[in-house]
Amino acid sequence: MIRLEKRPQPSQLWTYLTPVLAVLLTMLVGGVLFAFLGANPVEAIRTIFWDPLFNAQFAGFTRPQLLVKAGPLILIAIGLSIGFRAGIWNIGAEGQYIMGAICGAAAGLAFYPSESFLIFPIMIVAGALGGWAWAMIPAILKTKFGTNEILVSLMLVYVAETILGSVSTGLLRNPEGRGFPGSRNFKQWDAAHNSDLIANTGMHWGVVFAFIAVIGAYVLLTRHMLGFNIRLTGEAPRAARFSGVNPARIILICLGLSGALAGMAGLFEVTGPAGQVSIDFGSGYGFTAIIVAFLGRLNPIGILLAGLLMALTYIGGELAQLMLGLPGASIQLFQGMLLFFLLAMDVFTNFRLRIGKREVA
């Protein structure tokens, strides 16, 4: 009989080994899937994991793009992870991301075509405030009426999408855009353009903020009293209350923080890679970030790595579609499998496998 036995403490070795094993397993099973779809499995796996980093034809472009793609995922996931640690379930980061983009863009466009150096900082603040305010709705409803934040934050995603559709065709529509939906393009407005800080590195302000957020979260959770209180609230809510932690305050802080970070991520995307507010601006970053947060085990460093890994499978998956003609759905399935294996292998960090009868202690 096979059973699991809890390790006295998490295994250092397995912490590093499990992701590697999981990726290897995914390659194996994914290879079978791709072979089944008529592609060369070795080529497919190489395209997904190797080419974005080292292919001579692409890597010069895709390597920095890994940062660009991972940046918003990490920034949002960091905010979410702090809430998740406290047992506060913000599922609506996508909505906060959208509202951040809208508010930040609107704040900037109000000053169009000023070239003041203050424009971009104002937009960042407005973006953060937009996301924060959108997250404050579930936060206040939860603290005042005990309304479940999962439902409210999720429902507000759809409301934000409707607002996005509305402002793209109305309020923020580019007056010089011949009636087409979508705002002015920020890439054509230097004061508001979130460009690479050093050309062709992918390092735009959003990526910089993502790194700052990782460090900030690390310090908060390991060195700061507030971080301790947040963790305590999640792990032992009663104990937290006895030790004088105000649960309402933790809710407001956690939801506010994750909303502000998601809003900032939205602003950095709308002024950078996306370029404009448009109907389809929201493309699921807020949901993918939930995966990133848990894949990183709610640990800031883990989130950083998980974000980069997700970005790799996205970009590698795009290359596989392009070069091998694999359907987009197979890439989605592959990502799902990778996630499954990563999560399944996790068990060996905390448990060891025992074969045979249970010993009598």
Partner 1 sequence: MMDLSSINPILLVASIMVSATPILLAAIGEMVVEKSGVLNLGVEGMMITGAVVGFAVAVNSTSPALGFVAAALASALLALSFGLLTQFLLSNQVATGLGLTLVGLGLSSLIGKPYEGMKSPTLPKLDIPLLSDLPVVGRMLFSHDLMVYFSLALVVAVWAFLKHTRAGLILRAVGESHDSAHALGYKVVMIRLMAILFGGACAGLGGAYLSLVRVPQWTEGMTAGAGWIALAIVVFASWRPGRVAIGAYLFGGVTVLQLNLQAAGAAVPVALLSASPYLVTILVLVIISARGAHAAPASLGRPFHASS
Partner 2 sequence: MHRRTLLSTAALALTLGFGSAAAAQDVTAGFIYVGPVGDGGWTYEHNKGRLAVEEHFGDKVKTIYQESVPEGADAERAITQMALSGADIIFTTSFGYMDPTIAVAEKFPNVKFEHATGYKRADNVSVYSARFYEGRAIQGHIAGSMTKTNKIGYIASYPIPEVIRGINAAYIHAKKVNPDVEFSIIWAYTWFDPAKEADAARALIENGADVILQHTDSTAPQAAAAEAGNVITFGQASDMIEYAPTPRVSSIIDNWAPYYIDRVQAVMDGSWTSEDTWDGIGPGMVGIGEITDAVPAEVKAEALDLKAAIAAGDYHPFTGPINKADGSVWLAEGEVADDGTLLGMDFYVEGINAEIPQ
Identify which of residues 268 and 281 has a Cβ nearer to partner 1 in the complex.
281
Identify which of residues 223 and 358 has a Cβ nearer to partner 1 in the complex.
358
If contact means CB under 5 to 8 A according to the sort of partner, which of partner 1, partner 2, none does residue 6 touch?
A: partner 1
Identify which of residues 191 and 262 has a Cβ nearer to partner 1 in the complex.
262
- The window from 32-40, 140-148, 249-257, 315-323 that contacts partner 2 (CB under 8 A) reads 315-323
217 closest CA partner among 96, 81, 121: 81
Closest approach of Cβ 317 to partner 1, in Å? 11
Identify which of residues 112 and 228 has a Cβ nearer to partner 2 in the complex.
112
- Assess 281 for contact with partner 2 (CB under 8 A): yes
Q: How many residues bind partner 2 (CB under 8 A)?
A: 50
Closest approach of Cβ 292 to partner 1, in Å? 9
Identify which of residues 151 and 323 has a Cβ nearer to partner 1 in the complex.
151
If contact means CB under 5 to 8 A according to the sort of partner, which of partner 1, partner 2, none does residue 154 touch?
A: partner 1
Q: Give, as ranges, the residues between 178 and 237 that touch partner 2 (CB under 8 A).
A: 178-182, 185, 187, 200
CA distances from 65 to 62, 111, 203, 262, 275 (A): 5, 30, 9, 20, 15
- The window from 127-135, 236-244, 280-288, 337-345 that contacts partner 2 (CB under 8 A) reads 280-288
- Assess 113 for contact with partner 2 (CB under 8 A): no
Contact with partner 2 (CB under 8 A): which of 166, 195, 201, 222? Answer: 166
Site string for partner 2, 124-163 (x = CB under 8 A): --------------------------------------x-
If contact means CB under 5 to 8 A according to the sort of partner, which of partner 1, partner 2, none does residue 295 touch?
A: partner 1
Binding site for partner 2 (CB under 8 A): 51, 55-58, 60-62, 65, 68-69, 72, 162, 165-166, 169-171, 178-182, 185, 187, 200, 269, 272-276, 278-285, 315, 318-319, 321-323, 325, 327-329
